Structure 1
Amino acid sequence: MIQGFAVSAIWLREFKRYFRDVPRVAASVARPVVWLFILGIGISPNFSQVAGLNYIEYIFPGMVVMTILFTSTISAISIIWDRDFGLLKEMLSAPISRSSIVVGKVLGGATICTAQSFIAILLVFLTHVQLLWYNIAWILLASFIVGFMLAGLGVIIASLVKTYEGFSSVMNFLIMPMFLASGAVFPLDNLPRWAYLVARANPIAYAVDLFRGLMLRHYEFTFLIDLTVLLGLTVIITALAICRFRRMTARW
């Protein structure tokens, strides 16, 4: 059973802890700036048009998704931190359900992602990208959904590994391939058939397509397909995260 008071308390703790960590916040803000500079200035002169968009327009939605991808998954490292320092056992000794702990942590990660994505979106003023600002509410909602899904994935990984090093290794192994095989920085049409099918199974591909559609009205699929896939995966991953967390803490 999910308890609202417990979820809100854990959510607030995650939110405060993130924004009190100044170096972490600074790195999260600087990351999309660096990517935009490297890809936009260093690579864009080699491309005139990509899928009917100039290269800066093409990569900008992917850069926002990249911000969410890194922020949400790394936020789950708090599971390992709380476990190692005994805070997780204190939570479990209180009358709080395990599902409430997971939802609170994932909700905190999703909220942080939404804030970080908005900061990344503001970088549009450094470019000539014509953003569809009337879709900003939908864009932020999409940020929250994708952040929730990926934070849940982070909780699953954090529940499987035992060390910070193990978590970092697994996440680094997952993050970059997921991002690069999403169509965020180059179109996937020219890939071999098998590679294209693998890329289509990548949930980040649907996130990038959704953001590109909401920001620039340029879909490879449709709004409904992207949203349905992401919502379905969010429910499945959250359920798996709760099950995995319960299994991890069952022997405590």
Structure 2
Amino acid sequence: MNNPPQSPIAFELPAEIKKEITPASPFLRDLRGIYTLWLRDVIRLWRDRIRLVGSFIQPILFLFVLGGGLKGRVLSQGSTENYQVFIFPGIILMSILFTASFAGMAVVWDREMGFLKEVLVAPLSRTAVVIGKILGGASNSLIQGVFLLALAPFLHIYPSFAHLLLMLGVMVIVSLSQTAMGIALSARMSSSQGFMVLMNFIVLPIYFLSGAMFPLNKLPMWLSVLSQLDPLTYGVDLMRGILLGTFYYSIDRDILIIILFGLLMLYISVRQFQRD
């Protein structure tokens, strides 16, 4: 007699293996992708010690050499403000602005090396890729801004704990908005040399028009209009107002314009990456 066919043996995978092979939800995948891209950019900064140290040279030269040389000569007569104290908030934001531009340079380098192509074909949304790059660049900018803020006692500046928290908040939103600008500019660039030329053409005017090195009052009309179109102007005004107690514009206007500019740059960055 023939034996009846045997039923297949039921095999149950261990719960740990089932958890590993179960596809994660798109939201969780995007969160992991954002975290990975953020961590990669932060690690790259800390491993590049020359870049980390060199990025402090220009702000320190502006603060102590240029500021010390022009001390008592730039501000209006009768002013009791120390010029180095006056430019200190702008120097911090200068470091943030210049470091944020390297976030865009990192995108161009990744494109040249083929890493960006691997990221874009991964099961991640383009929005997650952009957010991860923005958070990485903003974190690097914020770290360097905090280091410069630690120089305040050398200028006999002793802000209160509440003022420090407020300045850190301003540095966070400026870091995010300026990094988003760098990512938006780099989204269609394929040459690191071309991107550096573009950033020098954009970053330097943004910094010098922001009022970081001179008061905004008594400016010529054309220069005053250009200064009001500069988004960094409102970040400098916030930082200086917190430190010195006087605002050129209103606090609400400063915060609103910085946030709207950051959201606009985020939207442009996502749209540019979706076309890639």
TM-score normalised by structure 1 residue count: 0.92
Q: CA deviation at 1:49?
A: 5.2
User: Match of 1:44, SS?
Assistant: coil
1:42 paired residue number:
69
Unpaired segments ≥5 residues, structure 2:
1-25
Q: Could you say if the C-alpha distance between residues 138 and 48 of structure 1 is closer, same or farther in structure 2, counting changes exceeding 3 Å?
A: closer
User: Match of 1:10, SS?
Assistant: helix
**Matches of 1:75 and 1:239, distance apart in 2:** 17
Greater C-alpha radius of gyration: 2
1:145 paired residue number:
173
* 1:159-174 paired onto structure 2 within 5 Å: 159-174=187-202
Q: CA deviation at 1:206?
A: 0.3
**Matches of 2:100 and 2:186, distance apart in 1:** 12
User: Match of 1:179, SS?
Assistant: helix
**Matches of 1:176 and 1:131, distance apart in 2:** 29
Q: Does the Cα contact within 8 Å between 1:33 and 1:123 map onto a contact in 2?
A: no
User: Match of 1:151, SS?
Assistant: helix
**Matches of 2:66 and 2:159, distance apart in 1:** 19
Higher relative contact order (CA 8 A, sep 6+): 1
**Matches of 2:121 and 2:273, distance apart in 1:** 15
User: Match of 2:150, SS?
Assistant: helix
1:90 paired residue number:
118
2:96 is the alignment partner of 1:65: no
User: Of residues 195, 201, 209 in structure 1, which corresponds to 2:229?
Assistant: 201
Q: CA deviation at 1:7?
A: 0.6
Paired letter, 1:127: L
2:34 is the alignment partner of 1:10: no
Structure 1 runs (4+) deviating above 3 angstroms are 47-52
User: Match of 1:31, SS?
Assistant: helix
2:144 paired residue number:
116
**Matches of 2:273 and 2:181, distance apart in 1:** 12
Aligned residues: 248
Q: CA deviation at 1:14?
A: 0.8
Q: CA deviation at 1:187?
A: 1.6
1:177 paired residue number:
205
User: More helix by proportion, 1 or 2?
Assistant: 1
Q: Per-residue CA shift, 1:43-95, capped at 9, x if unaligned?
A: 11424658763212210100011011101112221111111111111112221
Q: CA deviation at 1:218?
A: 1.9
TM-score normalised by structure 2 residue count: 0.85
Q: Could you say if the C-alpha distance between residues 48 and 181 of structure 1 is closer, same or farther in structure 2, counting changes exceeding 3 Å?
A: closer
**Matches of 2:203 and 2:178, distance apart in 1:** 10
Moved more, 97-106 or 121-130: 121-130
**Matches of 1:146 and 1:105, distance apart in 2:** 15
Paired letter, 1:218: T
Paired letter, 1:225: R
1:77 paired residue number:
105
Paired letter, 2:49: V
**Matches of 1:8 and 1:83, distance apart in 2:** 20
2:84 paired residue number:
56
